[in-house]
Amino acid sequence: MMYDIIFIGSGHAAWHGAQTLARAGKKVALVEANKVAGTCTNFGCNAKILLDGPAEMMHHLHHYHGIGINDTPDIIWPELMAYKHQVIDPLSDGLAKMLSVDGIDIIAGHAQFIDPQTITVGDVQYQADQFVIATGQRPAKLPITGAELTHDSTDFLDLPEMPKSMVFIGAGYIAMEFASIAHAAGSQVTLIEYGNRALNGFDADYAQQVVTDMSAKGIQFNFGQAVASVTALDNGQYAVATAQGQRFEAEYVMDTTGRVANIDGLGLDTIGVAYDRQGVLVNDHLQTNVPNIYASGDVISKLIARLTPTATFESHYIARVLLGDPAPITYPVVPTVAFTLPRVAQVGVTPDEAAKRDDLQVIEIPYGQVMRFQTLNDTHAAIKIVLNQKQQLVGAALIGDFAPEVINALVPVINKHYTSDDLKNQIFAFPTHTGIVLPMIANYLA
Ligand SMILES: Cc1cc2nc3c(=O)[nH]c(=O)nc-3n(C[C@H](O)[C@H](O)[C@H](O)COP(=O)(O)OP(=O)(O)OC[C@H]3O[C@@H](n4cnc5c(N)ncnc54)[C@H](O)[C@@H]3O)c2cc1C
Ligand SMILES: NC(=O)c1ccc[n+]([C@@H]2O[C@H](COP(=O)([O-])OP(=O)(O)OC[C@H]3O[C@@H](n4cnc5c(N)ncnc54)[C@H](O)[C@@H]3O)[C@@H](O)[C@H]2O)c1
């Protein structure tokens, strides 16, 4: 079968661009080895935020302890999991049907290149003028004794019952988000992190505040400990031992130590596509060293954050390139959020980077204390803004329950170089978080 373009993978890095190309008259196929729609839809963002919902509500209620509410309800995990299946399970077929309306073929199976114009999926060969590698990442497995006894994010998002106790190896995005959910659902949670802090990449003060808040709720943190082995015990529990000599026991052990690119078995060496340990190497047109082969999304070796919005952006960009637009890719600022309780978020230049530069200044606005009653007693809510010498906003870090919404409101302020008047000449609803924070920021802009 001959196509104009074949995407390998069907996640956000693939299907947005595939749709644009098909609607422009190209003959397009997606090859998918697992569930159509990829990680975010089936095993990532969507399922996570659904399971986080009641935990987030309980966290909000917790702010009223002692000022109006005594107790918080319990999460009935099996019911919540049934709801997750009801909402998430149909999404994959739904997307497949939507893509078929545009005439896009979906080929089920694992793709492997045999030459730059040909892949095999099972016993069948498919040819295309151009290919897009959009195969994403999978959970890493620590190379330790007992690695096979550990579970990953996909297992967690399908747990029929919440285990009574859990150890998370690592304190990155997934460990911190899932630990918050597991704790709210009644599990006794322990995190073991090799480094000396959690949420690497987020503002150090705010990450520490999240650790302090989670610790106050009863989650245990152990830093500077590298997990060296996991052993099954006779009592059905697992022992997790660290190289530093500590030992922890739990009913369930999560390996949340990162993700690795899905490039094995793709035949990249056969056709000479260059890659490194982080993924497929591309130029500023997301083109590999083999000219008719592009890469998109998490599988790219890149400094830009591996997130759904960046995968989507890259997918749209590749469609434009394949339709003849010669412009290199330029990324706008990328907001990132850790859906911990409380949430943390970041966009643009970080306060840590700004502190190392003479031309940037950092100003902290602790808006949770100023507006504590309007803001649901979220007393630690705060924002650090980064300004350049023209007093334009170039970055921000936030902590607080509404950080994910506030950070989005800052994206155009940065991208469009808003002035103070640009903000003050607009009317925002009040009392809302963005309606409080944006006018505060306006006071610091030129
Ligand atoms: C638990 C979790 C939570 C997350 N939460 C968030 C969040 O809140 N916000 C956010 O922005 N991002 C989040 N992410 C990251 C987000 O899911 C990814 O950035 C996004 O899914 C990347 O899209 P992609 O299309 O590049 O890869 P994927 O969605 O992983 O798609 C790649 C697809 O390729 C398929 N594939 C691989 N190899 C082959 C092959 N040889 N042949 C055929 N098919 C193949 C895979 O089966 C997969 O379906 C989360 C990730 C995880 C794991
Ligand atoms: N909200 C979001 O946007 C979101 C949520 C989840 C995942 N993601 C994506 O998934 C990626 C992977 O997330 P992740 O949490 O698995 O990885 P991560 O890289 O964020 O964190 C892994 C942590 O494990 C630690 N670690 C490594 N080896 C260890 C050992 N032997 N013992 C103890 N600790 C060890 C590391 O020091 C690190 O802190 C993210 O980078 C992001 O791209 C995004």
DSSP per-residue string spanning 191-209: EEESSSSSSTTS-HHHHHH
Between the CA of 150 and the centroid of ligand 1 the distance, in Å, is: 20
Between the CA of 38 and the centroid of ligand 1 the distance, in Å, is: 5
Confidence check on the interface: ipTM exceeds 0.85, yes or no: yes
What pLDDT, on a 0 to 100 scale, did the predictor assign at position 369? 80
* Bridge partners of residue 249, in order along the sequence: 239
For residue 5, which phi and psi values (nearest 5 degrees)?
-140, 130
Amino acid at 83: Y
**pLDDT mean over 311-331:** 98
Tens-digit pLDDT profile for residues 34-64? 999 999 999 999 999 999 999 999 999 998 9
- Which residue has the CA at smallest separation from atom 39 of ligand 1? 135
Of 256, 219, 211, 191, nearest to 399 by C-alpha is 211
Reduce the DSSP state of residue 249 to 3 states and report it. Answer: strand
Residue 412 vs residues 123, 305, 363: alpha-carbon distances, Å: 49, 19, 19
DSSP strand pairing (188-193 vs 279-280): unpaired
Residue 320 vs residues 118, 324, 376, 415: alpha-carbon distances, Å: 23, 6, 44, 21
- Which pTM value belongs to this model? 0.97
- Bind-site residues for NAD(+): 170-177, 193, 258
Average pLDDT, the chain: 96
What pLDDT, on a 0 to 100 scale, did the predictor assign at position 431? 87
- Which residue has the CA at smallest separation from atom 25 of ligand 2? 170
Quote the CA–CA distance of 201 and 257 in Å, as a whole number: 15
What pLDDT, on a 0 to 100 scale, did the predictor assign at position 377? 86
Quote the CA–CA distance of 150 and 146 in Å, as a whole number: 7
- Bind-site residues for FAD: 298
Tens-digit pLDDT profile for residues 247-282? 999 999 999 999 999 999 999 999 999 999 999 999
Tens-digit pLDDT profile for residues 167-186? 999 999 999 999 999 999 99
Between the CA of 45 and the centroid of ligand 2 the distance, in Å, is: 14
Which ligand 2 atom sits nearest the alpha carbon of residue 242? 32
What pLDDT, on a 0 to 100 scale, did the predictor assign at position 368? 87
Asked whether residue 358 carries a pLDDT value surpassing 80, the answer given is yes
Of 47, 50, 7, 46, nearest to 297 by C-alpha is 7
Of 182, 134, 181, 190, nearest to 12 by C-alpha is 134
- Using pLDDT thresholds of 50, 70 and 90, give the confidence band for residue 442: very high
Which ligand 2 atom sits nearest the alpha carbon of residue 226? 32
State the ligand closest to the CA atom of 34.
1
Q: Distance from first CA to last CA of the chain, Å, rounded? A: 59
